[in-house]
Structure 1
Amino acid sequence: MKKLAACLAVLLLGCSLLAVPAGAVGFTSTYTPAAEAVYIVNLDTNIIVYEKNSETPLSAASLTKLMTVLLLLETYGDDLDTPTATLTYEHTNYLYGKNASHADIRQGETHTMRTLLYCMLLPSANEAALMVADAIGGSQSNFVYMMNARAKELGCTGTTFTDACGLDPNNLTTARDMYLILRALLEYDIFKEIIRLEKWDVPAAAKHTAPYMILTTNLTIRPSAGAEFYRSYSQGGKTGSLEDWKNYAGWHTQDGASYISVVLHSPNSCDQYGIKYTNADGTPKYNPALYETDMMMDWVFDSFSIQAALDTQQPIEEVKVKYSAQTDTLLLYPADDLQTLLPKDGDGTETQRVFDLPESVAAPIKQGDVVGTVTVSLSGQVLGTVELLAGSDVERSELLFVAAKISEFFGSRYFKVVLVLTILAFVGYLVAWVTITVQDKRKNRNKIRRRY
């Protein structure tokens, strides 16, 4: 049984490392998102807290840069200050007339990969992404091939990249796929450091005689400029937009619980914060994906917490005991309390338990012996499997044991076969005896008749 439980534990760990949750929890948010797709996953348990159209391919916009960043970090690792890239005419020509976000890198300027990393993640600089693509791939087309190949390796099933920056509307992704990409990036400390920053100074270059400041597009981490968008639990993320909708993929942490959220194609009309503020031309400063992320994550942190799904001090089930005079049943206790994500106002009934137990156990039994397992689920998602331990020692009654064995023998198939064969043999003997006796009597009568 211990080997079985160990195998189950390894399987669950493997599934967690793959980071591909299996299904959506059936909880109803207090806010109904207008976004075309939403995906929220707890990183501590891999539980999907909310899902909406998470497998639907949609235009990725600047979320495309997250894959470019991932390939940069996987290529150069910690060596970000030696390799460089230069902005060329081909890069500026591709960006011309597209009103693309930038970091004011000018044609002919050369920057390190560290600088380009900051430029892509803070102001979402498109020129920086194109520079990285040529430096790593040798050409834009080859780098796009690398992007798509890496997406498949991560388990992305609805993602297709067509450029390195996201300006092409044919860059497609799903909410689930973008979760996988962002989760892979969270393995890098430098990435987590950068996405938390409000601003950074770009070093002087050929056409910049002094360092200059760049700002993040993520208002959820800017206490002053972010105003109502700001959330203390926001650890950073990446924005994106092409039309009258916006995307956002974010990382959030509070009270020991961490989440990734992905919101795709939130319409400007749903933003109740941005409508209060205006740009220089008088138009509202819409950030609908940030607004909907705030609404959803407020609900998540208000509604869920990491709790114990089981109590190791309380018996969870009992099983029948054989060959014991002291008890007929044995109380079973969980070996682990299974810390997991649960509703804050839950009473324990929201989880489902499936027991894997024998019909009975035979004494003697030692306290702590593994008797079986219990698998705990929450709205169809398996939270974990825990061993069930014997709660006490149970001695064996030799008298009951012997009596049971005798009873088992007389009730066994072997005894029944022997009994049937014995009866058949006896009947056969009886038939033979009767047959011989009758034949002998006939012979005797025949002898008497001959005499007379």
Structure 2
Amino acid sequence: MTRFGSRIFWCFVTAAMIFSVISAAFPTKAEAITFTPNFTISSEAAVMINLDKDVTVYEKNPNKKMYPASLTKIMTALIVLDNVEDLDNTVYEAPLVVFDELYGQGASSVGIERGEEVTVTDLMYSLLLKSACESAGILAYHVGGESISNFVDMMNEKAKEIGCTGTHFVNPHGLYDPDQYTNAADMALIAQYAVENYPKFVEIATATEYDMQPTNYHEAGWAHIYHTNSMLNRSSSYYYQYAKGIKTGTLDESGRNLITMGSRDGNNYLLVTMGSPMYDADGNAVYLHYEDHKNLYEWAFENFEYKQLLQAGIEITELQVKFGESSDFVRLVTADNYSCMWLSTVDTNRLKETINVDPSLLNDDGTVTAPVAKGQKFGTYTLTLSGEEICTVDLVAQDDVTLSALAYNFDKAKQFTSSIWFKAALIITAVLVILYIIIVAASKKKRKKYRRVKKRRKF
């Protein structure tokens, strides 16, 4: 009977030693924050990108539907550069269909005539500097296989390839059409793509002037053209020495659009503004888009710096560890560095930190159970400014914490001895022991009595 009770006890202990461990994982990093300048931007929409770090530092209505006007010609140029290898020695004849389309629309022109034979190089310079609409049509007609509509299809395919989601073209020159639209974010994508992937585009679009070469209709020196961006003209009151290129675009329906690059002290920016007003309240022409560009560049050059906000391995918090062999806690540290373009006038002490530990990895008392592996993710660490998320990095274990088998097994045994099952087992065992004692005692008494009876009979 004693052997039977012992077997019951160890069965319960063995069952109590069985357990399981659960793990999980979650969030990611955030996009860089954008800042707002302390002056008014007249343009309806704008996007400013630091080209060195590929970070947007300012935006205003970036996804608002706008009309591109002659900014369209940037995409026209890219399609030409994709399809024409030798710009200097490729000559296109100006077809009648191009002039028929432009007739009576007041389109900007360099003066090319029907039947004139012009090199692609000259067509590209007149397209991007003079904003010549006939140059756009001539290029589109020939590159599109004598079909301007085919060329426009190529423009729309290229826009999708670049990543534009709010852009649609119906012509290569940008004259108004309600179905030709874009937004500042898409135009920034197109312009940045052009700058980073087409050296020839940059060469042409940042030139300040150009001499058109002789043709079958014109002699040498027939046209000396200047960039339509007055910020490049030293004699203009809008001249800005740090500005380069790229393209203007103006229609009554679109307002004044402008894309430029700005460089100073090794800092390089791309700026898109759209929808700056054409006239003031008195009906006088205004050119506030130039002021927008100059003001935004000065703001960026004077105030932005590339700043490290987080360093990998910085201790943020710690967690208590159950059954640790070498330690009863683990430090949680940042997994990555984080740096971004930061406005120097904004004090980093204003940053608010949020610690998020995955509750599924914790015990009910807020502890974790060993073993813990170095680098194991337990949550995230987030920095915000005025409610806007700046960055989120993982929180990971700084060191390994091994499992103490002795401590673990002792705890499990302790848990078992305080459980209802253990108490039940003790009661059952006690009852069985008592029954056993009673039975043994009764058996002994019976045997003793039997011996006495037997002894009497014997006498």
| TM-score normalised to structure 2 length | 0.74
**Alignment equivalent of 2:64, drawn from 52, 56, 67:** 56
What's 2:225 paired with?
214
What's 1:146 paired with?
154
SS at structure 1 position matched to 2:300: helix
What's 2:12 paired with?
none
What's 1:264 paired with?
274
Deviation at 1:191, TM superposition (A): 1.6
Deviation at 1:254, TM superposition (A): 2.5
**Alignment equivalent of 2:245, drawn from 228, 233, 236:** 236
- Asked whether the equivalents of residues 99 and 134 of structure 2 are also in contact (C-alpha less than 8 Å), the reply is yes
Q: Does 1:174 align with 2:173?
A: no
**Alignment equivalent of 2:204, drawn from 194, 203, 211:** 194
Deviation at 1:258, TM superposition (A): 2.5
What's 2:428 paired with?
428
What's 1:113 paired with?
120
1:192–1:304 Cα change, 3 Å = same
**Matched letter for residue 293 of structure 2:** T
Deviation at 1:61, TM superposition (A): 0.6
The 5 Å alignment of 1:32-431 reads 32-76=40-84, 78-138=85-145, 139-170=147-178, 171-186=180-195, 187-211=197-221, 212-222=223-233, 224-227=234-237, 229-243=238-252, 245-269=255-279, 286-310=286-310, 317=316, 319=318, 336=337, 338-351=338-351, 353=353, 380=388, 382=390, 385=393, 406-412=406-412, 416-417=415-416, 420=419, 424-431=424-431
Deviation at 1:128, TM superposition (A): 0.9
Deviation at 1:208, TM superposition (A): 1.0
**Matched letter for residue 215 of structure 1:** Y
CA distance in 2, matches of 1:166, 1:197: 21
Deviation at 1:236, TM superposition (A): 1.8
Deviation at 1:199, TM superposition (A): 0.1
Per-residue CA distance 1:46-95 (angstroms, 9 max, x = gap)? 4333322221212111011111112112223x532233322111111211
1:302–1:268 Cα change, 3 Å = farther
- Asked whether the equivalents of residues 93 and 117 of structure 2 are also in contact (C-alpha less than 8 Å), the reply is yes
**Matched letter for residue 166 of structure 1:** G
The 5 Å alignment of 1:21-32 reads 25=34, 27-32=35-40
Higher RCO (C-alpha 8 Å, min separation 6) = 2
Deviation at 1:328, TM superposition (A): 7.8
Deviation at 1:122, TM superposition (A): 0.4
**Matched letter for residue 181 of structure 1:** I
| More displaced stretch, 233-242 vs 106-115 | 106-115
Unaligned runs of 5+ in 1: 1-6, 13-20, 276-282
- Asked whether the equivalents of residues 34 and 270 of structure 1 are also in contact (C-alpha less than 8 Å), the reply is no
Higher alpha-carbon Rg: 2
CA distance in 1, matches of 2:372, 2:101: 79
CA distance in 1, matches of 2:228, 2:335: 48
CA distance in 2, matches of 1:395, 1:240: 61
CA distance in 2, matches of 1:361, 1:425: 29
Deviation at 1:316, TM superposition (A): 5.7
Per-residue CA distance 1:374-401 (angstroms, 9 max, x = gap)? 66566635457589896xxx999xxxx8
SS at structure 2 position matched to 1:349: helix
CA distance in 2, matches of 1:81, 1:58: 35
- Between the two proteins, the alignment pairs up a number of residues equal to 408
- Asked whether the equivalents of residues 371 and 388 of structure 1 are also in contact (C-alpha less than 8 Å), the reply is yes
Deviation at 1:330, TM superposition (A): 6.3
CA distance in 2, matches of 1:154, 1:434: 87
- Asked whether the equivalents of residues 109 and 206 of structure 1 are also in contact (C-alpha less than 8 Å), the reply is yes
- Asked whether the equivalents of residues 321 and 362 of structure 1 are also in contact (C-alpha less than 8 Å), the reply is no
- Asked whether the equivalents of residues 229 and 248 of structure 2 are also in contact (C-alpha less than 8 Å), the reply is yes
1:300–1:225 Cα change, 3 Å = same
| TM-score normalised to structure 1 length | 0.75
CA distance in 2, matches of 1:384, 1:220: 40
CA distance in 1, matches of 2:396, 2:266: 28
